[in-house]
């Protein structure tokens, strides 16, 4: 742990489980102060009681499918009055289905969570981020941002859009010395896969995704990893 990181804030949306939880662990153990949110307050309280021995974890209940909750979380983050070193747009939602058979509203619900949450949270925090001159934004996209697949439906649409957002933001932030990385993991062992009859060995551990993202963060100010593509060793599921 680096004590010099204590005054630097890492903002992680959807940090109570899966990749988000692995990221909270990784950055917290490196000495950073963390602000995270989740829809489930019980999971957040459990996370805080388990991890936050040094009182560097700030939690906020929010459903990032709702713009008002995104804005409330952003206001909470800014009220901490800390320089934002890292913003990780991780909150996401997966509903399987096919475009021509999905129920009405499936596209909207996934666009709201997977795209709009990142868009609005970034916009609300960007002036703080830009003022640091050496901050980093990660957008957790998906292999589905690159390759459409059967039963991916509106999830694929939303993740293609998030990747476009991330690419645009990268171009905008270059001259502000803010790095932007699009993270494109394949099948990762998270609750999204609960109930499937697939061996655990076929999945990427969430901790591996967090470790690779942290490595991208640690490179020199002269270098940026624009796209971080991560796949299971035996190929996509």
Per-residue model confidence as pLDDT tens digits over 185-224: 999 988 777 778 888 899 999 999 999 999 999 999 999 9
Which CATH topology does 3-230 take? Answer: Rossmann fold (3.40.50)
Half-sphere exposure of 228 (CA within 13 A, CB side): 23
- Does the structure show a pLDDT above 90 at 5? no
pLDDT of residue 4: 67
Give the Cβ contact number of residue 49 at 10 Å: 10
In this prediction the pTM is 0.95
pLDDT of residue 6: 75
Cα 80–82–83 angle (5° rounding)? 145
pLDDT of residue 3: 67
Average predicted confidence (pLDDT) for the chain? 95
Q: b vs e for 143-178, b when ≥16 Cβ sit within 10 Å of the residue's Cβ? A: bbbbeeeeebbbbbbbbbbbbebbbebbeebeeeeb
Q: Are 90 and 12 in contact (CB under 8 A)?
A: yes
Average pLDDT for residues 70-91, to the nearest whole number? 98
pLDDT of residue 7: 87
Q: Are 114 and 164 in contact (CB under 8 A)?
A: no
- Give me the numbers of helices (H) and strands (E) for the chain, helices first please: 7, 7
pLDDT in tens, 118-175: 999 999 999 999 999 899 999 999 999 999 988 999 999 999 999 999 999 999 999 9
pLDDT of residue 29: 96
Give the Cβ contact number of residue 30 at 10 Å: 15
Average pLDDT for residues 55-64, to the nearest whole number? 98
Q: Which of 33-42, 56-65, 83-92, 186-195 has the lowest mean pLDDT?
A: 186-195
Average pLDDT for residues 15-44, to the nearest whole number? 97
Domain ranges in the chain are 3-230
**Whole-angstrom distance, CA of residue 148 vs CA of residue 32:** 36
pLDDT of residue 179: 98
Average pLDDT for residues 48-71, to the nearest whole number? 97
pLDDT of residue 225: 98
**Whole-angstrom distance, CA of residue 84 vs CA of residue 137:** 10
Distances (CA, A) of 177 to 74, 75, 78, 220: 22, 24, 20, 12
């Amino acid at each position: 742990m680096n004590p010099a990181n204590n005054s630097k804030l890492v903002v992680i949306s959807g940090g109570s489980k899966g990749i988000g939880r692995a990221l909270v662990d990784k950055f917290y153990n490196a000495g950073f102060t963390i602000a995270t949110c989740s829809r489930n307050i019980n999971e957040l309280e459990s996370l805080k009681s388990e991890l936050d021995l040094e009182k560097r974890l700030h939690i906020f209940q929010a459903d990032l499918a709702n713009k008002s909750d995104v804005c409330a979380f952003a206001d909470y983050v800014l009220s901490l009055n800390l320089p934002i070193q890292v913003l990780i747009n991780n909150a996401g939602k997966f509903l399987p289905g096919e475009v021509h058979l999905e129920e009405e509203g499936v596209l909207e619900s996934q666009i709201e969570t997977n795209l709009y949450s990142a868009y609005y949270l970034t916009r609300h925090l960007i002036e703080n981020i830009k003022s640091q001159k050496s901050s980093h934004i990660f957008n957790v996209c998906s292999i589905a941002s690159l390759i459409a697949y059967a039963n991916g439906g509106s999830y694929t649409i939303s993740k293609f859009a998030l990747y476009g957002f991330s690419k645009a933001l990268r171009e905008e932030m270059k001259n502000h010395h803010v790095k932007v990385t699009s993270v494109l993991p394949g099948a990762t062992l998270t609750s999204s896969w609960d109930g499937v009859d697939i061996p655990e060995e076929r999945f990427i551990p969430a901790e591996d995704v967090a470790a690779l993202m942290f490595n991208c963060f640690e490179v020199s100010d002269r270098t940026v990893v624009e796209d971080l593509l991560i796949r299971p060793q035996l190929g996509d599921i």
